[in-house]
Amino acid sequence: MRNALIGAPVPRREDFRFLTGTGTYVDDLRRPGMLHAAILRSPVAHGRIRHVGIEGALKIEGVAAVLTARDVTDRLGRVPVTPIRLCPLPELEPFAQPVIAADAVRFVGEPVAVAIASSRAVAEDGAGAVELDIEPIQNALLFDAAPDGVAISYRATKGDATAAFADAPYTRRESFSVGRHSAVPMEPRGVLAEWDGARLTVSGAAKASFAVRRALAGQLGLAEDVIAMVENDVGGGFGLRGEGFPEDFLIPFAAWHLGRPVKWIEDRREHLIAAAHAREARCEIGIACDRDGTILGIRGEAVADIGAYVRTNGTIGPRNIAQFLSGPYRVENIEATVALALTFKSPIGTYRGPGRFEADFFRERLLDLAAADLGIDRAEFRRRNLPRAGEMPYELAGIAPFPRKDSLDSGDHVETLDRCLKAFGWREKARVPGSIVDGRRRGVAVGPFIEGGAAGPRENARLVLEPDGRVAVHVGSSSIGQGIETVFAQIAADALQRPLEAISGVHHGSTSDVSEGFGSYHSRSTVMAGSAILLAAESLRVKICAEAARRMGCDPSEVRILEGDRLAGPGGLSLPLSAVAHAGIEAEEGFDNHRHTYAYGAHAAEIAVDPETGAVEILDYVAVEDVGRIVNPVTVTGQAVGAVVQGIGGALLEDMPYDASGQPLSATLADYLLPCACETPRISAIVTEDHPSPVNPLGVKGAGEGGIIPVGGLIANAVADALGVSPDALPLSPPEIRRLIEAGDPSIRRFAPTQDED
């Protein structure tokens, strides 16, 4: 029987404190004797450090210390590096980033010194007073270990792509590229560290607090249980926040070294030049088809610009480009390689839909071109190549190194495509390509996608029966805006067969909550932690019944938990639940899983382009996604809509170019453009639950990233439909649109006679 709360549109519990300004962010924290940090960053892209002079800075009133690589080495005997968290390989170790530059710098923004002072303003004055002498290096070689400038290459394979292309009656090959992006959450990063002589407490943890604690313990040479990571409210994460960056070492080191609380809050310029970037890649991709549109094979060779170092999770985006170049389609022959190129730029990490956003743009542009060549309707071309329910699980390409094979777990991709087309009104809107309305050309496009989720290996949940009879939920997953305080309370209440009010709170992300945790990434929280809550709830019920049986003198099997928070035994015996709550009853369980879930769906969009200005307006947008099982339609729909808006930014606005000397050209929000309310169209998000996942007891699938994945390819194809041009790069800014028109048919700009021509 389906329970009452799972599937209900419960309002988000966490929103009250956010909307009333009572949330607690790192910058809200104050401690007695607290110092503030400012980080001096390299202004040079590549150079040898000849001198770091701190004497002048130390003369400034209020400056307590200026820490450099020498201080770190004197205390630890070495300068630690930032470890690789996901898919670590020995061959990547030479490219790990030092927590602070000692001998050389490799990108603008790399930390060189940390000024510690009585206030943030004084700390910035101190950092500005440091004398920095860096000799530029003209040699383009960043590391001797990578003479060709490539850290590693990934290869995805399935079947025999060479034979498929050799025998195919139709092939086509194109080149595409995606610009450099960053997550740019509303709240920049922040860290507050405190050392009391025996314990190091670090506030500001997010996403993967246990992994960051493990890394920090190794860097400082401390036992893990000496360090407590505390998760605070955060203003968005999107894959970037909480990954163990150099600052996550430098601030705790400063507090440990000085014996004083130290706080650092990132400013926007620091975020844009030194936090993780993402996306930038170029790809040559080919397709082989039968004349009826059946895809026989896909091949691709891509180069991903990963910046100056391999950091934390920086391999995941490029790796995903390789493995998911074929997307949701039924493709039996695949070969894709992605080289990870080292450059004088800020290192990359993950950003919502890493690798999949890029791969979808590359592939979906090619599919529209192939459909046109073969004379097949774009939607029908895709329908013919999507897997149905009877083909599940459907095998994806295998990936190496760090090999993994994976399969789509469940679903019918044609169902969601057809639902999207119907809701969008495809038959009517796609009738006249490039139609002119109010002086602008209109175009439409449709694009299916898949969203991987539920990364293992496990997640933990601990449920505690409190003295008033309510239950507190503790999980290892972090809250980074996805609404887990509400969703997890729904799951726990249903599992315990109690009302939502019986869940006193959901405590998340901090290392004190559970014995082990893995965090929030790869759309894993509801699948992994939600399933752990189910297991912990059952264990808690068993313990409650055992304690009640002891008090009533009966067998635990004779105890029932009734509505109204009462415990019933044989012969009319009864106890209030609060009567056993003082026994210290709690249960912690972990859910293990090594199979991914795959939410899936399709998006469709109608756009209008002004050929004179190159401006693009999105007139209508429909997003359909099957998420296996819906826990809360409010939160999952919100995730879909927010992700679409971020995808629009990547498709039309966002880019982080560098000049030839390695200087970033988008160091402010005046240059790095983000979508605002005026760029946000009407978005109709439809979530379905027709095909539950078989890989977890809830049947849910990760659904935090799907909304962003198809947007780039979709918008590019709609622009192509409107103007008859062939977009090959994102973002499609107004100058890029004008370039496409001039390179194609300049007469598009003058589709109607002027007054002089009448």
As to burial, measured by CB atoms within 10 angstroms (0-12 exposed, 13-18 middle, 19+ buried), residue 425 is middle
Residues 474 and 609 in one domain: no
Window from 365-374, 556-565, 581-590, 634-643 with minimum mean pLDDT: 556-565
| pLDDT for position 312 | 95
Residues 429 and 406 in one domain: yes
Residue 755 confidence class, pLDDT cut points 50, 70, 90: very low
Residue 484: half-sphere exposure toward Cβ, Cα within 13 Å = 32
- Provide mean pLDDT across the span 649-661: 97
Residues 587 and 599 in one domain: no
Residue 745 confidence class, pLDDT cut points 50, 70, 90: confident
- 13 within domain boundaries: no
What would you measure as the largest C-alpha separation in the chain, in angstroms? Answer: 101
- Structural tokens at position 679: 């760029």
Q: Which residues have a Cβ under 8 Å from the Cβ of 354 and sit 6 or more positions away?
A: 239, 278, 316, 317, 320
CA gap 649, 711 in Å, rounded: 9
Bridge partners (DSSP) of residue 443 are 607
Per-residue pLDDT of 398-451, as tens digits, reads 999 999 889 999 999 999 999 999 999 999 999 888 899 999 999 999 999 999
361 within 8 A of 713, measured Cβ to Cβ: yes
| pLDDT for position 3 | 65
- 108 within domain boundaries: yes
| pLDDT for position 744 | 85
249 within 8 A of 99, measured Cβ to Cβ: yes
- 11 within domain boundaries: no
The domain containing residue 504 runs over which residues?
A: 455-592
- 168 within domain boundaries: no
| pLDDT for position 679 | 87
pLDDT higher than 70, residue 264:
yes
Residues 481 and 515 in one domain: yes
- 72 within domain boundaries: yes
pLDDT higher than 50, residue 758:
no
pLDDT higher than 80, residue 713:
yes
pTM above 0.85, yes or no: yes
- Provide mean pLDDT across the span 703-729: 97
Residues 665 and 717 in one domain: yes
pLDDT higher than 80, residue 213:
yes
**Residue among 202, 252, 233 at smallest CA distance from 76:** 252
| Overall domain count for the chain | 3
From 592, 627, 642, give the residue that closes a domain: 592
Residues 444 and 459 in one domain: no
Residue 749 confidence class, pLDDT cut points 50, 70, 90: low
Residues 495 and 522 in one domain: yes
Residues 631 and 527 in one domain: no
Residues 409 and 431 in one domain: yes
- Provide mean pLDDT across the span 44-65: 98
Residues 599 and 705 in one domain: yes
Compute the mean pLDDT over every residue in the chain, rounded to the nearest whole number. Answer: 96
Residues 309 and 358 in one domain: yes
Bridge partners (DSSP) of residue 473 are 463, 506
The SS3 call for residue 401 is coil
ω into 401 cis (within 30 of 0): yes
Q: Is 497 or 339 the better-scoring residue by pLDDT?
A: 339
Instruction: For residue 195, give the CATH number of its domain.
Output: 3.90.1170.50
- Provide mean pLDDT across the span 165-169: 97
Instruction: For residue 553, give the CATH number of its domain.
Output: 3.30.365.10
141 within 8 A of 696, measured Cβ to Cβ: no
Residues 579 and 632 in one domain: no
Residue 751 confidence class, pLDDT cut points 50, 70, 90: very low
pLDDT higher than 90, residue 139:
no
pLDDT higher than 80, residue 564:
no
Per-residue pLDDT of 608-638, as tens digits, reads 999 999 999 999 999 999 999 999 999 999 9
- 161 within domain boundaries: no
- 226 within domain boundaries: yes
- 77 within domain boundaries: yes
